Structure 1
Amino acid sequence: MATNTNGEQEWSLQTPPPLPPGYEKHHIVFLEAVHLPLAELPFPHTIDIHQHTTADQIAERIKNATIVISNVADVKPSDMDNAPHLQLLAILATGMGWVDKPYCAKRGITVVNAPSANIPAVSEHFLGLYFASRKRIGVVDEIVHTSDEWVKTNSLTKRVWPEGPPLGCSEETLGIVGYGALGKRVEGLCHALGFKEVLIAERKGAKEIREGRVGFEELIRRCTTFCIVCPREPDTIDLIGEEELKMMRSDALLINIARGGIVNEAALAKALKEGRIFGAATDVLDNEPGGPGTTPLLPDVEKGEEEVPNLIVTSHVAWFSQSTIAKLQGINRDAMTAFVEGRMYDPSVRACVAVHDGKIWKQT
């Protein structure tokens, strides 16, 4: 790395990384084509495309790869140990909390992701979950579709909202946990909708409160709606647990559009069953994919397990939109091409690079 005349560090020019012995072109293994197709790649390559890859299939599938493309499949160090020629791990997503960056740096494996590609879609999904949860749209829809209760009673309001009318935007105090590009986008949308107040959480356990932030515990006590948008890291696992749920207001609505495991699922299921908070919605689970019996949030009612009320679960689809797919494809193509051509210093792709040249460039 060199230093320019302004004292700023710049990546030094590079030549294309040499291919391993016996390789005439890069060999790509795409582990999860089920989510979206790749853009056309402008460099010579061979490719194995798998619609879906389970954890026990990864090591065998990537053993001859120089480039591996994953979306959410956790490519572990033990898998990469089986891939001696691996040079690039390309994450076809924004989130990459599962990547073992120190291992990749030590191995000399470059890691790239697609930052901010899904911000508009995920922030809009938050609004969808907010209105569906606060208005209990799914509950009303099911009653109307499956019974004549509305016909007989002429009103479902007391049935659906026994605690009284729901809050409107002008009465909401939103608490945002995680203030990156997504948190800022949600903040802007909620201001535009007329939320009474938007608060930004300081880190849990912080001794000093930064300007413009609110202490974590104060935010938990004050807010009526919570938007979880922080990365999943060791210090954010179970960030919201039984203690925090007990601190929340009875009209609190908790929405997680970040990653599973940040909200303790057993604690949330218990709080909802006991009616301690108004409701919750999540687009993510600790273990995905999920279904009946795989998480406390999705009990198997056919086996007599108690259903969790006032909860909406969507199948990690917040990112899914035409604009997100186009951005993911373009960013992924450009980052891989820059790697193959030895242009990782190029300003147009720097934001994608998490690990390169034996160094960790960004954590999230």
Structure 2
Amino acid sequence: MANDDSKGWSLQKPPPLPEGYSKHHIVFLEAVHVPLAEMPFEFTMDKYDRTFPDQIAERIKPATIVISNVINVKPSDMDHAPHLQLLAILATGMAWVDKPYCAKRGITVVNTPSANIDAVSEHFLGLYFASRKRIPQIDQSVKASDEWMRTNSLAKAMWPDGPPLGCKQEILGIIGYGALGQRIQFLCRMLGFAEVLIAERKGAEKIREGRVGFEEVIRRSTTFVIVCPKEPETINLIDETELKMMRKEALVINMARGGIVNEAALAKALKERRIFGAAADVLDTEPGGPGTSPLLPDLSKGEEPVPNFIISAHVAWISGVTIETLQSINRDAMTAFVEGRMYDPKVKACVAVHDGKIWK
């Protein structure tokens, strides 16, 4: 019987293998993203570089362990995997996981928390400078036209309303204050941002110490970074109402998940030039391309382009450090499960569901 006291973790026993299995069988659904670390336990494996949603149910049928990165393994998929014991998310984000279903089925769920904090916070800075300085637009203009040669300066073309803000003029609004938000706060203060505002939850009646009311952050900030989890209450958190409240020099950068910023409303605000610009590493529909999002019109069909928007195709997490960290956390969590050590303090932070209970 499971012991809820972490001091009793050493008393845990490895979960028994299903009848007919002599070792765990892993189904790795998205090997294209991150290679697995070497595992210290015996297993067999089906490895797929990429899996589409309609392939999941069939592929995971024989699995005792399923490894996913970003693809949503639904309860309807897991219903086809009667021997499934562990769902290992080789990523930090796992908002798509149906935790009550997994708890009811006795399926353990682990993820790799905070593995990409450095990479994503650094990527935010890249998007911030690229957007505020309009580097992609300048690069494209110089490579594809003679405008610079004709005009001798692209400054007025790129910033018709006046020069862009510098760091000393920026008021950063952070929406989501976990480890990533805290790291971005530190970096921006080191860069000399004039002020950093930590947004309270939208609609909160009480403002916590160190936080600022959500609407006040929306009205005052010049740059916004979205780093909150995608949950039912954060879908369309930034919508037309919030965009209309923002300053004209506002820059919106989404580092979290698609759908937290309403893409149609953001595209409209950019087309109407009500805000300075926007950047995102994520979209509501991924992978994305022309015609898959209001932010990505299909220009070949004559659709109007969205100005001053940069997309970086969900690569913010990638760095050598991130890969090594993801691999080691995933290896340690999976090994702890196989060896019956999920209450080990060294791995408890990875555990979302275990022993029929939701841990986080």
What TM-score do you get using the length of structure 1 for normalisation?
Answer: 0.97
CA distance in 2, matches of 1:91, 1:10: 26
Using the TM superposition, give the Cα deviation of residue 13 of structure 1 relative to its aligned residue in structure 2, in angstroms: 2.7
Using the TM superposition, give the Cα deviation of residue 77 of structure 1 relative to its aligned residue in structure 2, in angstroms: 0.2
Per the alignment, residue 151 of structure 1 pairs with 149
Per the alignment, residue 78 of structure 1 pairs with 76
Per the alignment, residue 330 of structure 2 pairs with 332
Using the TM superposition, give the Cα deviation of residue 338 of structure 1 relative to its aligned residue in structure 2, in angstroms: 0.5
CA distance in 2, matches of 1:60, 1:47: 15
Instruction: State yes or no: 1:223 paired with 2:221.
Output: yes
- Secondary structure of the corresponding residue to residue 150 of structure 1: helix
Per the alignment, residue 213 of structure 1 pairs with 211
CA distance in 2, matches of 1:101, 1:2: 20
User: Contact (CA 8 Å) 2:37, 2:327: kept in 1 or not?
Assistant: yes
Aligned residues: 359
Using the TM superposition, give the Cα deviation of residue 92 of structure 1 relative to its aligned residue in structure 2, in angstroms: 0.2
What is the letter of the counterpart of residue 237 of structure 1? I
Compared with structure 1, are the counterparts of its residues 3 and 82 closer, same or farther at alpha carbon in structure 2 (3 Å cutoff)?
closer
Using the TM superposition, give the Cα deviation of residue 10 of structure 1 relative to its aligned residue in structure 2, in angstroms: 6.1
Gaps of 5+ in 2: none
Per the alignment, residue 123 of structure 2 pairs with 125
Gaps of 5+ in 1: none
Instruction: State yes or no: 1:37 paired with 2:41.
Output: no
CA distance in 2, matches of 1:11, 1:229: 33
Per the alignment, residue 250 of structure 1 pairs with 248
- Pairwise CA RMSD: 1.1
What is the letter of the counterpart of residue 314 of structure 1? S
Spell out, residue by residue over 1:234-267, the C-alpha distance to the aligned partner (whole angstroms, 9 max, x if none). Answer: 0000000000000000000000000000000000
What is the letter of the counterpart of residue 289 of structure 1? P
What is the letter of the counterpart of residue 328 of structure 1? L
Compared with structure 1, are the counterparts of its residues 19 and 286 closer, same or farther at alpha carbon in structure 2 (3 Å cutoff)?
same
User: Contact (CA 8 Å) 1:13, 1:345: kept in 2 or not?
Assistant: no
CA distance in 1, matches of 2:9, 2:273: 55
Q: Aligned match of 2:264 in 263, 266, 271?
A: 266
- Secondary structure of the corresponding residue to residue 58 of structure 2: helix
CA distance in 2, matches of 1:163, 1:103: 53
Q: Aligned match of 1:189 in 182, 187, 190?
A: 187
CA distance in 2, matches of 1:335, 1:96: 15
- 143-152 or 170-179, which deviates more: 143-152
Using the TM superposition, give the Cα deviation of residue 11 of structure 1 relative to its aligned residue in structure 2, in angstroms: 5.2
User: Contact (CA 8 Å) 1:2, 1:12: kept in 2 or not?
Assistant: no
Instruction: State yes or no: 1:348 paired with 2:312.
Output: no
CA distance in 2, matches of 1:336, 1:155: 57
Spell out, residue by residue over 1:143-190, the C-alpha distance to the aligned partner (whole angstroms, 9 max, x if none). Answer: 111111111111110011001100000000000000000000000000
- Secondary structure of the corresponding residue to residue 129 of structure 1: helix
What TM-score do you get using the length of structure 2 for normalisation?
Answer: 0.98
User: Contact (CA 8 Å) 1:252, 1:279: kept in 2 or not?
Assistant: yes
User: Contact (CA 8 Å) 1:353, 1:361: kept in 2 or not?
Assistant: yes
CA distance in 2, matches of 1:196, 1:185: 17
